[in-house]
Amino acid sequence: MRRLTRGLLACAAAAAPLRAQHVRTLESSRLLRDSAPVAVRLQLGTGTLSLGASDAPYLYRSITRFSDAFSPPASAWNAAQRTLTLTAGARHLIQTASTSTDDHDASVQDWRVQLTRRAPLQLSIDATAAKASLDLTGLPLRRFALNTGAAAATVRFDAPNPESMTTFDASVGAGGLQLIGLGNAGASEARIIGGFGDLSLDLGGRWQRDMQIAVTSSIGGITIVAPPTIGIELDVGGVLKRADVTGEFNRTGSRWRSANYEASAIKVQIFVKSVIGKLELIQR
């Protein structure tokens, strides 16, 4: 009887539900003291990241909603070097007794960041396995770099960059990349590296300068949509299953040139290298 009682108690203890997660919201910000350039770095492991511009008198504003599965976010400002580092919480490797695997909020980390429109920025983002939605419209960017892993990333420019950008860099993994309005970025050079995910590049926008674009992909498909108002030169390297080019182009070997290339005020040179995949270039 004692053995049976102990067994029933053990089963009951094992079946008892774990305590539900607590979900907290933490906000932080820093006032903008002047309009001198700032280097900003965002770091996020898992979760979601939403980024946009703000007219408020802040260098940044961060709002993070996170569960007990994550440590609190952190920020660091180096006044001498004018660098700002914002880091989202790290996920705990060991599940505690208060962690409920059935709780809908057990792994919540939702990070929303706003950056100033009033100071030139060099922005770099490391989002290891986080879904990133980056609206760079209105941000005065002199340089941009994105590094992601398994989750998808969307980057958009809906209006011209207030600053001239040197390089636009994006290295993405299996999640792929959707890039909207690259013509508004104002960059002289774009370097985009993809892994297993698809790359979708929209070259729309108000073009102010020529650009060189290098696209490298392992396996995923590459789709490039270009407006007919700019001159396009496409060079293809590597092994492609298929290259479909739609529009008024002249082909010589592995090179395509739009019919308006020589006469166009804006010339965009695109070099695509794919280990194994397919490319689609559409002029419209």
What average pLDDT does the segment 40-44 reach?
97
Could you tell me if 224 and 262 are in contact, meaning their C-beta atoms sit under 8 angstroms apart?
no
Q: Is residue 204 scored above 90 in pLDDT?
A: yes
- What is the pLDDT confidence band of residue 240, given thresholds at 50, 70 and 90? low
Q: Are residues 206 and 255 in the same domain?
A: yes
At 21 the pLDDT is: 62
If asked whether residues 281 and 173 sit together in one domain, one would say yes
- Spatial distance between the Cα atoms of 111 and 11, rounded to a whole number of angstroms: 40
Which of 115, 135, 155 is the last residue before a domain boundary? 135
| Whether residue 150 sits in one domain with residue 46 | no
Report the DSSP beta bridge partners of residue 52: 114
Mean pLDDT of 247-266: 95
Is it the case that residue 95 has pLDDT exceeding 60?
Answer: no
d(CA 259, CA 267): 12
Buried b (16+ CB within 10 A) or exposed e, 191-228: bbbbbebbbbbbbbbebeeebbbebbbbbbbbbbbbbe
Calculate the CA 22 to chain-centre distance.
28
Task: Please count the other Cβ atoms lying within 10 Å of the Cβ belonging to residue 248.
Answer: 11
Whether residue 6 is contained in a domain is answered as: no
Query: What is the rounded distance in angstroms from the CA atom of residue 161 to the CA atom of residue 182?
Result: 10
pLDDT value of position 28: 97
Do residue 130 and residue 179 come from a single domain?
no
Per-residue pLDDT, averaged over 74-83, amounts to 97
The count of structural domains within the chain is 2
Q: Exposed, middle or buried, 59 (CB in 10 Å: 0-12/13-18/19+)? A: buried
Structural domain for 27, as ranges:
19-92+104-135
Strands (E), the chain: 23-31, 38-54, 58-67, 74-78, 83-87, 109-116, 121-135, 141-148, 153-156, 165-171, 177-180, 187-194, 199-202, 211-217, 222-226, 231-246, 249-252, 255-258, 267-283
User: How confident is the model at residue 173, as a pLDDT?
Assistant: 87
pLDDT value at 31 more than 70: yes
**Whether the model pTM is above 0.85:** yes
* 3 in any annotated domain: no
115 and 142 both lie in a single domain: no
| Domain co-membership, 114 together with 189 | no
Round the average pLDDT of the chain to a whole number and report it: 89
Do both 209 and 74 map to the same domain?
A: no
What is the Cα 80 distance to its own chain's centre? Answer: 28
- Pair (154, 270) in one structural domain: yes
Element (H, E) at 3: helix 2-15
